[in-house]
Amino acid sequence: MAQQQHTESLWSHLHFDGERVKNYYLNSIGNPNFCVLVAEQDGEIIGGTACGLNQYDFSYNTYVQDIFFYVKPEFRTGSLGIKLYKQVYEWAKEKGACEVYIGYGFGKNNKQMERFYERLGYEHHIDYYRKPVIA
């Protein structure tokens, strides 16, 4: 599923290393600063998310940031994404986090995703800019 997400993302031009992804998630098992949620249907994984608890650079307060979020295309028309994000928010509350940051790396100017996040109570926050390093 991570491979599918990578293929659809703004980082698809970069190499995907499945072993790296596997190790990242294996290292999160049992770590109280990570939350991994998986959605299944008939024994098949159809979506999931991972997020981490982080401290702000300027204080000891914490926030939750998503690391991975993906729902297979054929399951995107239902409420699965909403349910996953609500669980992330509940986990953030349990951890005493001040905020939840979620990102979207699949396109630019995507009004559909903006409406989706706003419907969940999120507001636009930070824009990132990137520049390739050419050796």
- What's the CATH number where 36 sits? 3.40.630.30
What is the count of structural domains for the chain?
1
Q: What is the DSSP string of 5-27?
A: HHHHSTTTTS---HHHHHHHHHH
Domain range for 74 is 2-119
Name residues whose C-beta falls within 8 Å of residue 125's C-beta, 6 or more positions apart in sequence.
101
Q: What is the pLDDT of residues 71-88, one digit of tens each?
A: 998 998 889 989 999 999
Q: Full-prediction pTM beyond 0.85?
A: no
> Which among 42, 116, 120, 103 is positioned nearest to 76, based on CA atoms?
116
Q: What is the pLDDT of residues 28-66, one digit of tens each?
A: 889 999 999 999 999 999 999 999 999 999 999 999 999
Report if residue 26 sits inside a domain: yes
Report if residue 20 sits inside a domain: yes
Report if residue 109 sits inside a domain: yes
Report if residue 124 sits inside a domain: no
